[in-house]
Amino acid sequence: MADRPPKVLICSCEDTMPLDVPAVQRGCRGAEVSTARQLCRAELDKFCSAAAGGEPLIVGCTQEAPLFSQTADAADVTYANIRETAGWSKDADAAGPKMAALLAAATEPVPEVPFVGLSSEGVILIYGRDERAVEAGNLLKDHLDVTVLIKPPAGVTPPRVTDFPVVKGAIRSAKGYLGAFELVVDGYAQSAPSSRGMMSFAAPRDGAVSRCDLVLDLSGEAALFTASDLRDGYLRANPDDPAAVLKAVLKARDLVGSFDKPRYVAFTEDLCAHSRSRIVGCTRCLDLCPTGAIAPAGDHVAIDAFICAGCGQCAAVCPTGAAGYALPPADTFMRKLRVLLGAYRDAGGREPPVVLVHDNAHGAPLIDALARFGDGLPANVLPVAVNEVTQVGLESIAAAFAYGAAAMRLLLRAKPRHDVTGLRGTIALAEPILAGLGFGDARVATIETDDPDALGQALRAIAQREGTPRPASFLPVGGKRDVMRLALRELQRAAPAAIDVIALPAGAPFGTVEINAEGCTLCLACVSACPTGALSDNPERPMLRFTEDACVQCGLCKATCPEKVITLRPQLDFRAATATARVLKEEEPFRCIRCNKPFGVKSTIERVAAKLEGKHWMFQNSAQRLEVIKMCEDCRVVAITEQEFDPYREPPRPKARTTEDYLREREQEGRAGEPET
């Protein structure tokens, strides 16, 4: 906590929780701490007095934050929840250090997040299979511009008054987002105005295109989009559930106007290692994106900010840092962990701290329920709220343990709504690193539950093991790849067993490159393909060098190598950060037989000359022509001029035969076989 505020105001909430003022003062580094019993009612004047000074103020209450904000006007006030997360617990008497840590971490500044704008004019397509879709249209016709699309056979009763179009068809494909949907409909047909008992339709046609702002899917079939609940503007409900249909209708009614959506991921194209020269390398983000917001775009990928739902898995697994999460950025989250764990230690926290990462949609209500109806969180469990748990990357896990955490738990739903493969892969990557550095097994794990009591039991069952013996205090600054390297180096310095090399599972973003030197021709195609400069040449002589600290194991070098002699070996070498480039292969250059200038690779020039001598038609009758291959680019031009080298003087190549030649020969043979008259 670099800028510790001078004032802290905490409340016992009508004596329902104890307050440890000395611990808070130690954790907040000598801050002026004031207490209250009922700050939001009887002692509101204490808050007004503290806020009136204009100095930054921390208030240990979030429940009454709207009241305080209204009272404080423009005062610089930060709110922290110390009641449900610390005070309301059977361990409340020992929760003073945790309260201090939560108060200190709340003041860590968070950078502003850029937004993208979505605009909806209220044009909605309701897609259904029967009268229920028409009923939904009747509910929305006074608020939105409604069109109802009924799937064949479309057996619906014609309306007495046509308030909105009812058409027939089946959606073949769909793309877009709120305000910009585009649907392709097969079997499209407009209703006939002369429909009598059942609605009849005109002749159908395929490939009709419909553009709309909103889609309400009441078809009861598979969703039109992957991770459909994350697609802004696409609402889906089971038509057999009237409550769900009504909820979707009410939500659709409000989706008119302009909306701001966070740009969750900041993307830098130049850092992307997706492909080079149409050869595909890294596909980590493409494999994980649940919404399909990521697509190849040449040598890099493109992230559609209008479709991105902010799960953060792309940023968590991106090996180069091209994709970086912005809510908050990785370095901001690491700084919060630094303040949280440092303040807990300064305040006198004795139990090894456990970091509990949760989201606000699922985790916060679960923690709240555990505090209100159960035993609350243990005194050594430090909760940290993030936008999405899946945004947590290796850099944050490494930083947490470097700062002194004894364990980390990530709170998920019992049945995750979306694939969390990326998060599981991150944990699988962190485990061998922590185990190799002497921390032991099972230091990082998920807790997958919707039951607050199960959450409490899982947290209290964590084995009491010591954290980092020498906690780090580094300040993370920079991009994702930079802070990841920094966190891992600091983790090694603070670890119980500081070994140098740790083997990693396949797909890890760290590792080395090995080559079969005998098969390598030093063509340097791998150097051209490497997006990070991990592979490099030497302009002075034939050489292939490798810098392990820059390698992200994208596989482009392996896929590009024409001799197929490159092998990737995932590992984490802590010495790589300070190591010089390693020479993988080096050969003597070939010297021009005319001017003695070094050029090319000696073994390659000799091998090419041996293959051509006496075998190729251009080199069968003249030794001088073979010598041209052994000359540099300048001497080669001079030699060709002196020798009057003209390839057209050689015997002409056979003329290519065409279909006309065969037909002409057949006609001539036929004429030759005809009897003379």
- DSSP of 5-35, one letter per residue? -SEEEEE-TTTTS---HHHHHHHTTS-EEEE
Residue 592, domain member (yes or no): no
Whether residue 51 contacts residue 8, with contact meaning beta carbons closer than 8 Å, is answered with no
Tally of domains in the chain: 4
Residue by residue, what is the 3-state secondary structure of 118-186?
Answer: EEECCEEEEEECCHHHHHHHHHHCCCCEEEEEECCCCCCCCCCCCCCCEEEEEEEEEECCCCCEEEEEE
Give the integer Cα–Cα distance in Å for 577 and 223: 48
Compute the distance between CA of residue 132 and CA of residue 241 in angstroms, rounded to an integer.
11
One domain for residues 253 and 187: yes
Residue corresponding to tokens 């057996």 = 155
Contacts of 312 (CB under 8 A, 6+ apart): 264, 265, 325, 327, 387, 388, 390, 391, 392
Structural domain including 181 reads 117-259
Assigned token pair, 319: 């090996």
Strands of the sheet with 234-236, listed across from one edge: 208-212, 181-190, 166-175, 145-150, 123-128, 214-217, 234-236
| Alpha-carbon distances, residue 63 vs 30, 85, 372 (angstroms) | 26, 12, 14
Cα–Cα distance between 82 and 65 in angstroms, integer? 13
CATH number of the domain that 130 lies in?
3.50.50.60
Q: Are 148 and 165 in contact (CB under 8 A)?
A: yes
pTM of the model: 0.87
CA distance 107 to 343: 12
User: Where does a domain end: 278, 299, 325?
Assistant: 325
Dist. CA 298–CA 315, nearest whole Å: 19
Residue 274 pLDDT more than 80? yes
Cβ pair 91, 374 in contact under 8 A: no
DSSP 3-state assignment of 69? helix
Confidence of residue 620 (pLDDT cuts 50, 70, 90): low
Strand (E) or helix (H) holding 55: none
Structural contact between residues 491 and 402, judged by C-beta atoms closer than 8 angstroms: yes
Query: Is 294 in the same domain as 346?
Result: no
Domain match, 420 and 462 both: yes
Angle CA 447–449–454, to nearest 5 = 90
pLDDT in tens, 130-157: 999 999 999 999 999 999 999 998 889 9
3-state secondary structure of 552: coil
- Answer yes or no: is pLDDT of 178 > 60: yes
Distance CA 311, CA 288 (A): 10
Closest of 558, 527, 525 to residue 545, by C-alpha: 527
| Model confidence band, residue 72 (pLDDT cutoffs 50, 70, 90) | confident
**Partners of 599 in the beta sheet?**
590
451-488 pLDDT per residue, tens: 999 999 999 999 888 888 889 999 998 888 899 999 99
Distance separating alpha carbons of residues 105 and 253, to the nearest angstrom: 40
Residue 384 and residue 350 in one domain: yes
pLDDT at 1: 44
Q: Find, among 481, 570, 10, the residue nearest to 268 by Cα.
A: 481
CATH number for 517: 3.30.70.3270
pLDDT digit string, tens, across residues 500-520? 999 999 999 999 999 999 899
* List of residues 6+ apart from 486 with CB closer than 8 A: 474, 476, 478
Contacts of 415 (CB under 8 A, 6+ apart): none
Tokens of 159: 């309306």
Nearest to 557 by CA among 584, 590, 518: 584
Q: In what order do the strands lie in the sheet with 381-386?
A: 381-386, 354-359, 407-412, 444-448
Work out the pLDDT band at 651, boundaries 50, 70, 90: low
Residues 436 and 544 in one domain: no
% of the chain at pLDDT higher than 70: 95
Q: Average pLDDT, stretch 329-334?
A: 94
Q: Are residues 254 and 276 in the same domain?
A: no
Six token digits for residue 629: 């291959």
The answer on 158 and 21 residing in a single domain is no
C-alpha of 296 from chain center: 15
Of how many residues is the chain composed? Answer: 677
Residue 291 sits in a domain whose CATH number is: 3.30.70.20
Lowest mean pLDDT among 160-169, 253-262, 553-562, 599-608: 599-608
Find the mean pLDDT for residues 319-348: 95
Asked, for residue 657, whether it belongs to a domain, the answer is no
What letter would DSSP give residue 263? -
Count of other CB atoms within 10 angstroms of residue 4: 18
CB 102 within 8 A of CB 59: no
Whole-angstrom distance, CA of residue 232 vs CA of residue 97: 42
For the chain, the C-alpha Rg in angstroms (whole number) is: 35
State the pLDDT at residue 106. 93
- 658 assigned to some structural domain: no
How confident is the model at residue 656, as a pLDDT?
80
Residue matched to tokens 């070094």: 598
Please name every residue paired with 362 in a beta bridge, in sequence order, or none if there are none. none
* 334 shares its domain with 462: yes
For residue 610, being part of any structural domain is answered with no
Judgement on whether residues 20 and 54 belong to the same structural domain of the protein: yes
Is the same domain home to 140 and 105? no
pLDDT (0 to 100) of residue 648: 55
Q: pLDDT digit string (tens) for 366-389?
A: 999 999 999 999 999 999 999 999
How far is C-alpha 553 from the geometric centre of its chain's CA atoms?
Answer: 17
Q: State the DSSP code for 191.
A: B
Q: Would you say residue 290 has pLDDT above 90?
A: yes
pLDDT of residue 463: 85
Which tokens is 180 given? 């910009």
Q: Which residue has the higher pLDDT, 636 or 272?
A: 272
Element (H, E) at 324: strand 323-325
Kindly report the average pLDDT of the chain as a whole number. Answer: 92
* Greater pLDDT, 406 or 1: 406
Tell which wins on pLDDT, 612 or 192.
Answer: 192
Residues 6+ apart with CB under 8 A from 585: 515, 517, 520, 522, 543, 544
Pair of tokens at residue 147: 């069109």
Last residue of a domain, one of 289, 307, 325: 325
**Quick one: average pLDDT of 393-417?**
96
**2 pLDDT more than 50:** no
**One domain for residues 67 and 97:** yes
**Pairing of the two strands 257-262 and 115-120:** antiparallel
DSSP state, 111?
P
Structural domain ending residue among the three candidates 570, 586, 602: 586
pLDDT category of residue 553 using cuts at 50, 70 and 90: very high
Region of 505 please: left (phi>0), alpha (psi -120 to 50) or beta: beta
- Is residue 617 situated within a structural domain? no
Of residues 301, 317, 316, 291, the one with CA closest to residue 234: 291
Nearest C-alpha neighbor of 310 from the set 108, 115, 552, 509: 115
Residue 598 belongs to a domain: no
Scanning the structure block, which residue is given the tokens 């027939």? Answer: 168
Task: Give dist(CA 262, CA 110) in Å, integer.
Answer: 14
Phi/psi of residue 32, each to 5°?
-80, 110
Look at residue 210 and tell me whether its pLDDT is greater than 50. Answer: yes
Expressed in angstroms, the distance from the first to the final Cα of the chain is 114
Is residue 641 included in any domain, yes or no? no
Give the burial class of 171: count Cβ atoms within 10 A of its Cβ; 0-12 exposed, 13-18 middle, 19 or more buried. Answer: buried
Confidence of residue 609 (pLDDT cuts 50, 70, 90): confident
CB 446 within 8 A of CB 379: no
185 and 147 in a single domain? The answer is yes
Integer Cα distance of 232 and 244 in angstroms: 17
Burial of 276 (0-12, 13-18, 19+ CB in 10 A): buried
- Identify whether 622 is part of a domain: no
CA angle, 121 as apex, 117 and 125 as ends, to 5°?
115
Tracing tokens 């990785």 back to the chain, one arrives at 330
